[in-house]
Structure 1
Amino acid sequence: MKLYFEDLKPGRVFKSGPILVEAAEVRDFAERYDPQDFHLDEAAGAASVFGTLVASGWQTAAYSMRMLANSELANIANGLVGLQIDKLMWHQPVKPGDVLSTEFDVMSRKHSRSRPQFGVVQLAWRTFNQHGDLVMSLENAIWVAVRDV
């Protein structure tokens, strides 16, 4: 079932996951996008402030995006069209072996003044590890088609 602006009422929560974080993926992502020693090498990670190999925060964001794309929110009629991201925070490091899950809360919505066939929906993302610890959060605005124009 396709989702439209009218379906995304404030207070609605979408959940997704789990995703297992694997050491090889952490190193591969770091080699390509964030080549810092504590993302690339177990010994360097152990000697770092983290005390272990850790995933890049950007990889945590990518995992969260994957879970969004696997959630019911992926059924938005016009696709997942992002407009902006605010308040991105990495609360705790993500380590190999962690199992991540996400919650996406509809915070607010408003009709577009310039394009009445669309609305802007504000989402709050929260990504947790297997212990229920918050590891990442952000807020973002998405562009959503209106069903009844």
Structure 2
Amino acid sequence: MRFFEDIAVGEKHSFGSYPVTREEVLDFARKYDPQPFHLSDEAAAATHFGRLAASGWHVCAMAMAMLVEHMKAFEQASLGSPGLDELRWQRPVHPGDMLRCETEVLAARPSASRPEMGLVKSRMTVFNQDDVAVTTFVSNAMIATRPAG
């Protein structure tokens, strides 16, 4: 198990491989972000996207899926997150893209009010197959401290 005390400011991780499929882009858009450029090739062609584009919220969900798989690999003692900062959708994501992630720990501090956890701030960058950053955000994670004894 990887606890708060095992995390160092400055550490970096590169992980994930997520194929963006047309079916998933359309399904997510129909359910959660039904804007025309997420639903129709013709509508997307008439915009700056040029072709069907995944919702930014979908890109965040794909990044989360990769992050959870990464955390499972070393059994991170995650207790959830109070939120994100600085979310930016920098480039469109299209069906056929392959996404991956990189993280860097920016800060880590014990919780002032909850001694059973620490707070970790990390920058997440999502890249496409051309190593172009498509999404960035700063995540705030609550990580369990190592149990006494």
Please say whether Structure 1 and Structure 2 have the same fold, judged by a TM-score greater than 0.5.
yes
Aligned residues: 147
Residue 113 of structure 1 deviates from its aligned partner by 1.4
Change (3 A) 1:87 1:72: same
SS at match of 2:82: strand
Aligned to 2:61: 62
| 2:42 aligned with 1:35 | no
Checking the alignment, whether the CA contact within 8 Å between 2:79 and 2:144 is kept in structure 1 is no
Aligned to 2:20: 21
Residue 80 of structure 1 deviates from its aligned partner by 4.8
Q: How does 1:97-136 map to 2 (within 5 A)?
A: 97-136=96-135
Checking the alignment, whether the CA contact within 8 Å between 1:3 and 1:73 is kept in structure 2 is no
Q: How does 1:65-76 map to 2 (within 5 A)?
A: 65-72=64-71, 75-76=75-76
Q: List gaps (5 residues or longer) in structure 2.
A: none
Aligned-partner Cα distance in 2 for 1:117–1:82: 15
Aligned to 2:138: 139
Comparing 93-102 with 68-77, greater Cα deviation is found at 68-77
Residue 76 of structure 1 deviates from its aligned partner by 1.7
Aligned-partner Cα distance in 1 for 2:79–2:64: 10
What TM-score, normalized to structure 1?
0.93
Q: List gaps (5 residues or longer) in structure 1.
A: none
Runs (4 or more) in structure 1 with deviation over 3 Å come to none
SS at match of 1:142: strand
What TM-score, normalized to structure 2?
0.93
